[in-house]
Chains A and B, each alone.
Chain A
Amino acid sequence: MATITMNSLGARARNPWVGFVLRRLWRLLVSLAALVTAAFAMIHLIPGDPVRAALGTTADPAMVAARRESLGLDQSLLKQYADFVGNLLQGRLGESIGAQMPVSEIISGRLPATLQIAVPAFVLILLIAVPVGMTAAVLTKDGRRRRGELSFTGVTGFLGAVPEFLLAVGLIAAFAVAWPLFPVASRGGVDSYVLPVLALTVVPAASLSRIVRVETLRVLGEDYMRTARAKRLPARLRYLRHALPNLLTSSLTLGGLLFSSLLAGTVLVENVFAWPGLGTTIVQAITEKDYPLVQGVVLVYGAAALLITFVVDVAVAVADPQSTVRGS
């Protein structure tokens, strides 16, 4: 069967890459459209009158009416949707109810703070998880070092089960209260970044290193690794040249979701550290029923998650052309 699908795809597009990139782009577009529609629909799905809910039951009716008009809620649904999409394409996300400021301005003010902890965390996760997972796999392959295997799975399993925000609380209790090495909260000097980044890194790194270990074990059991042994290659070449590229692609595929959820993890961590990023903004906006602001932040988070998935997909395909040809 596999050969048949390969042939049929090959016949459709001379270059399988064209078909692949088109498919992925199409999927990205559909997902983005779904995201935009969902963000638009949100305000209409809220039971009751969103403006009344935001301003309170005692609000002046004239003010409510004015606010309805400024949000465009007095117009037909289709017109509203068209306006929403039109504005979006021009980079306009509406006006925050609470702050009386353009949403886009608030977001561009807050986004850098979020990225400043998310990006280092992302890099750290990769730098920790891949070597740790591979080393653990090599040391415990073939049922060797049972005790080492147990402690690795135990520790990473425990760390993986701790939610980021609780870890953040624990880190504060340990390194800001018990031993005041770092500041408790808020953004300041370089030392204020340590705990938030750590809180974001540890849990996904533990989970990813488990995935990497399992994938390494799977790769080590493959026939081509036996071929490499039959060629009497030194261990260094076998692991780095033969195993690493294969396990990276499959680990990335499985770990792809981990990265997009890392972005969401910033929401909780930012709230623990009172970090002035998007995460604190959205929570505040939800509590204050500042719907245009919620819409805006949801769009930013959602689009970022979709882009990450897209990039990981393409990266995996570049590293492992076989999976590209297989389609999906």
Chain B
Amino acid sequence: MPHHDHDSSLRHRLGRTIRTPIGVTALTACLLVALVAVLGPVLLGDRAAQVDTDAINQGSSAAHLLGTDQLGRDIAARVVVATRLTLRLTLMAAVIGVGGGLLLGVAPAVVGRRLGRLITATVGVLVAFPGLLFLLFLATIFGVGSTGAVFAVGLAMVPPMARLVQNLTASIAGSDYVAAARILGVGRFRMVVRHLLPNIAEPSVLFATQATGGILVAFSGLSFLGLGVQPPQYDWGRLLNEQLNRIFVNPAAALAPGAAVVLTGLMFGLVGEVLAQAGGRRAPQAPETTPQEELGTPPEPAVEHDGGALVRARDLRVTFPGGRQAVRGISLDIGAGEAVGLVGESGSGKSLSALALADLVPHPGRVSAAALGFDGHDLRADPRLGTELAMVFQDPMASLNPALRVGRQLAEVAEVHLGASRAEATARAVDRLDAVRIATPGRRARQRPHEYSGGMRQRAVIAMGLMGKPKLIIADEPTTALDVAVQREVLDLLAEVREESGAALLLISHDLAVVAQVCERVLVMYAGLVVENLPVTELLGGAAHPYTRALVGAVPTMTTDRGTELATIPGRPPEPGETGAGCPFAARCERVRERCHEDTPELTALGPGRQVACWYPVGTAAGRPVAATAHTAKATS
């Protein structure tokens, strides 16, 4: 789904994100902390340093909001004044950590292969140690004190940052566009500046911001342990260290610097969140108005029986938030044992239509229909299909659970739906694997999916559908991810299974040839509508809709004339929501007339078993609308 808006620059997205509540909070917090850091020591510096031997170790009072310390100094003022030092040390350490991490992270891409490998391995070893241990180790070497602590905290940040940058860089370096640049002879340095850095910038900045929050906490921890800032200097951690012993007497004094650390740490987290949102992956979308129509249409009182159709859908729609309709009211019937193909280009709504029949439309899509029946019962009232429906999906690598044995995944169908015992279910699973011609099914059932080849997995998925007695098999692009030879095997298997079980088949594919091989009837979808319904025998030469004809013409076959250019369809299909009045194909149609832009043609009968949604279908008396000529056409032919 490419975004077609042109306002997706980072600056624009940042501006938009800052105006959200979280953005406003982050910005306010940043300004506030900066203000306190700048003005705190100027305004309260004297008060914080003032020793008052008359008021030692006092509790909270009007004069001293958080009480006083061992020398009678005002703790509240000291917490405020400590902001500057704390932030300064934190930022210094962050510069060391982020800078070092970036250098070590990008280095493997710039230096030679051997040195690069050494750097990667070193970072890998360092990352295995917890940050705090590294920190204590460095603190021992640099000695107790703030300078040592800055280096210790900063350097401890280097390995995780370097690891992150290395991972990001490695994934970018493995991308096709970097390969393309390499073939073009783009130099190493230029590759880093132009291809690597711009593409790792956003996640790196995000991580660096969050790491800065971590550095603040680590530094406070070090000072708290007495290994960081030493008196007479003080940061929040040091103040906490001094006040912890008196937590019995004056808990507020110990909690205040702690709260300052937590809140400032949260601020860094918030800034990171804002940057992440602006970075696009979680960009705030324009508020979507969800229409509240939903399944509002009351079910038709009685499902009229229609020549014993197994599946009967009327005015089926799939709607997404914002009112975008991906399927815009299609009607279809599938007879018992019939093989129907559903073809169309990507985005035509073919897969969603099939998923709607199986009640598997992904959130937030919503299904509505005037009638939706399966084998005589109303799916709108009870969407449960039990084992009468089998599904086969496009990607056999992904559609089996990698953590479970294949036999188990098959057997559970029988256990859950057929009440079989575990042993019976397992036996049936092995039997079914055998039925889809998987050799040594007993051994294979005990294996996990990664030990199967692609074609074998797709067979296992088909076998899963055969655990019950399916009346309908829905196969959504079942061979797109497979090799031609394997595709042939899977298609043959589907045909064989259909013959044996008598199940109907709904085969969704973008490949007309695949559909032609297996199906008896073809439904052609365009822009969320069925535009033609025809027997597969008519597909090659007898299609009535200009779109179907164009689609057929665009596919090169083993008999295509090599002397001529391939037929193409100019323009692109409308996106959901772009469709207005008139035929959705009008903008790309060769036979377009005035009427096509004004009225949307309905799917109307065109001879026995054929329907078309076109005002001027191919093969009828040209120039006259179908509805007016339907009778005469029949009479004359």
How far, in whole Å, are A291 and B404 apart by their CA atoms in the complex?
52
Give every chain B residue within 8 A of A245 (Cβ-Cβ).
403-404
Nearest CB of B to A89, in Å? 21
Give every chain A residue within 8 A of B247 (Cβ-Cβ).
169, 172-173, 177, 184
How far, in whole Å, are A268 and B223 apart by their CA atoms in the complex?
11
Give every chain A residue within 8 A of B213 (Cβ-Cβ).
161
- CB <8 Å contact, B393 and A227: yes
- CB <8 Å contact, B269 and A161: yes
Query: Given A261-B130, A321-B448, is A31 in contact with B221 using a C-beta cutoff of 8 Å?
Result: no
Q: Mask for A35-63, Cβ within 8 A of B = 1, else 0?
A: 10010001001110000010000000000
- CB <8 Å contact, B131 and A142: no
Q: Mask for B437-449, Cβ within 8 A of A = 1, else 0?
A: 0000000000010
Q: Which of B55-63, B136-144, B341-349, B528-536 interfaces with chain A? A: B136-144
- CB <8 Å contact, B251 and A163: no
Q: Mask for A303-328, Cβ within 8 A of B = 1, else 0?
A: 00110010000000001111001000
Q: Is A241 part of the contact surface with B, judged by Cβ < 8 Å?
A: yes
Within 8 A of B (CB), among A234-281: 234, 237, 241-242, 245-246, 249, 257, 260-261, 263-265, 267-268, 271-272
Closest residue on chain B to residue A47 by CB atoms: B143
How far, in whole Å, are A224 and B402 apart by their CA atoms in the complex?
8
CB < 8 Å: which of A162, A163, A242 contacts B404?
Answer: A242
Within 8 A of B (CB), among A158-186: 158, 161-163, 165-166, 169-170, 172-173, 177-178, 184
- CB <8 Å contact, B364 and A260: no
Give every chain B residue within 8 A of A42 (Cβ-Cβ).
137, 140-141
How far, in whole Å, are A294 and B144 apart by their CA atoms in the complex?
14
- CB <8 Å contact, A31 and B395: no
How far, in whole Å, are A144 and B450 apart by their CA atoms in the complex?
33
- CB <8 Å contact, A232 and B384: yes
Within 8 A of A (CB), among B74-133: 121, 124-125, 127-133
- CB <8 Å contact, A322 and B128: no
Nearest CB of B to A27, in Å? 8
Give every chain B residue within 8 A of A227 (Cβ-Cβ).
391, 393, 399-401, 461, 464
Q: Which of B199-207, B412-420, B498-506 interfaces with chain A? A: B412-420
B213, B261, B391, B399, most chain A CB atoms within 10 A: B399
How far, in whole Å, are A232 and B266 apart by their CA atoms in the complex?
43
Q: Mask for B204-226, Cβ within 8 A of A = 1, else 0?
A: 00000000010001001100111
Give every chain B residue within 8 A of A263 (Cβ-Cβ).
130
Give every chain A residue within 8 A of B427 (Cβ-Cβ).
none
- CB <8 Å contact, A309 and B393: no
- CB <8 Å contact, A233 and B391: no
- CB <8 Å contact, A246 and B130: no
The 7 closest A-B pairs by CB, nearest first: A142-B363, A264-B132, A223-B398, A245-B403, A264-B130, A230-B391, A166-B258
Given contacts A30-B125, A230-B391, 19 further A-B contacts (CB under 8 A): A42-B141, A46-B143, A142-B362, A157-B269, A166-B262, A169-B240, A173-B251, A224-B399, A227-B400, A228-B401, A230-B390, A237-B416, A264-B132, A283-B225, A286-B140, A287-B227, A298-B140, A301-B130, A306-B128
29 inter-chain pairs at a CB distance below 8 angstroms, sorted by A residue, are: A46-B143, A161-B266, A162-B265, A163-B261, A163-B265, A165-B221, A169-B254, A222-B398, A223-B395, A224-B401, A226-B360, A226-B362, A227-B400, A230-B389, A231-B464, A233-B412, A246-B403, A260-B130, A267-B136, A268-B132, A271-B224, A271-B225, A283-B226, A287-B144, A287-B226, A294-B136, A298-B140, A305-B130, A321-B450
